């Protein structure tokens, strides 16, 4: 049974991601504020949106910005609910099609603004969808344990160099081994356990709301926090590589999460050949 017409929502629209025209979300799928998820098409593209009314923690992002979640300002409960709804919609779509996730908290004023954004950036969106098709994101984090954990305190200095690679020798070796299996990689700034007394600050950080950080902050010095773009057919090889690294590196506790939609690679500057 067909859903409501795409120009029926009133008020601001929360945007979850960009897909090729023709995709239809599952009937009954809801997003932020339990509002129904619908499609707004424009040309060969479409945006997954919902009209939840007031959107808590809306980010100040340029219209149509894709990429990793931003840093909306909201109370912990509202932020968590928004982030979980955003992930739920994007993850379900990613099981069926290639999707360019928008930043957490991306809101447009109305259907017309969504369509204008799709039209203005259609060339870029089509190129990104073609490049990312059939590929998903995996997250890998490595934490020091045993003697390695005591080798340097958490405030001993930067754990990534100017090129974004881990400065720790074991973490760097692990990253290079995984990057050899993946098509592309993106090294995030490592985050240590959330210090006591600043839980609210941690909860509103981009790291906490990222799709590869659902678990609570673990204990231990974080030496590696990377995302890897992997073809679907290479997922088994990538997971085996992570398992092998964990077995050969007792000084590291390695965690694998995913697969996810390509959150870290939907931003043009994260892929070679796509200007910022």
Q: Model confidence over 46-99: pLDDT tens digits?
A: 999 999 866 554 544 444 445 444 444 445 677 888 899 999 999 999 999 999
State pTM to two decimals: 0.76
Q: Is the pLDDT of residue 24 over 90?
A: yes
The CATH number given to 135-270 is: 3.30.70
CA distance 188 to 273: 21
pLDDT given at position 161: 52
Give residue-wise pLDDT tens across range 110-153. Answer: 999 999 999 999 999 999 999 999 999 999 999 987 655 555 55
* Distant-in-sequence, close-in-space partners of 180: CB < 8 Å, separation ≥ 6: none
**Three-state SS for 230?**
strand
Q: What are the extents of the domains in the chain?
A: 13-132, 135-270
Per-residue tokens: 153: 């305190």
CA distance 52 to 95: 24
Q: How far is CA 3 from CA 29, 36, 38, 44, 268, in A?
A: 11, 9, 7, 19, 32
Q: How far is CA 7 from CA 10, 87, 109, 133, 233, in A?
A: 8, 24, 12, 28, 38
Residue 127, classified by CB atoms within 10 Å of its CB into exposed (0-12), middle (13-18) or buried (19+), is middle
């Amino acid at each position: 049974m067909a859903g409501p017409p795409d120009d029926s929502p009133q008020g601001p629209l929360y945007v979850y991601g960009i897909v090729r025209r023709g995709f239809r979300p599952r009937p009954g799928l809801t997003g932020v504020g339990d509002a129904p998820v619908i499609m707004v098409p424009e040309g060969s593209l479409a945006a997954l949106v919902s009209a939840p009314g007031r959107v808590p923690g809306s980010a100040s992002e340029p219209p149509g910005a894709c990429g990793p979640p931003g840093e909306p300002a909201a109370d912990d409960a509202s932020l968590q609910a928004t982030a979980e709804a955003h992930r739920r919609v994007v993850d379900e779509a990613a099981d069926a099609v290639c999707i360019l996730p928008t930043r957490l908290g991306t809101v447009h004023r109305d259907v017309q603004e969504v369509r204008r954004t799709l039209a203005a950036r259609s060339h870029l969106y089509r190129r990104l969808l073609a490049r990312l098709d059939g590929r998903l994101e995996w997250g890998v984090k490595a934490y020091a344990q045993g003697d390695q954990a005591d080798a340097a305190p958490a405030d001993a200095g930067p754990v990534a160099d100017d090129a974004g690679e881990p400065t720790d020798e074991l973490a760097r070796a692990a990253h290079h081994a995984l990057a050899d299996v993946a098509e592309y990689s993106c090294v995030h700034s490592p985050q240590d356990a959330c210090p006591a007394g600043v839980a609210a600050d941690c909860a509103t950080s981009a790291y906490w709301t990222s799709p590869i950080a659902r678990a609570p902050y673990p204990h231990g010095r974080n030496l590696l926090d990377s995302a890897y773009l992997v073809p679907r057919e290479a997922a088994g090889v990538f997971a085996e590589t992570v398992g092998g690294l964990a077995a050969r590196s007792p000084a590291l506790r390695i965690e694998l999460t995913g697969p996810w939609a390509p959150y870290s690679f939907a931003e043009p500057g994260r892929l070679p050949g796509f200007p910022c």
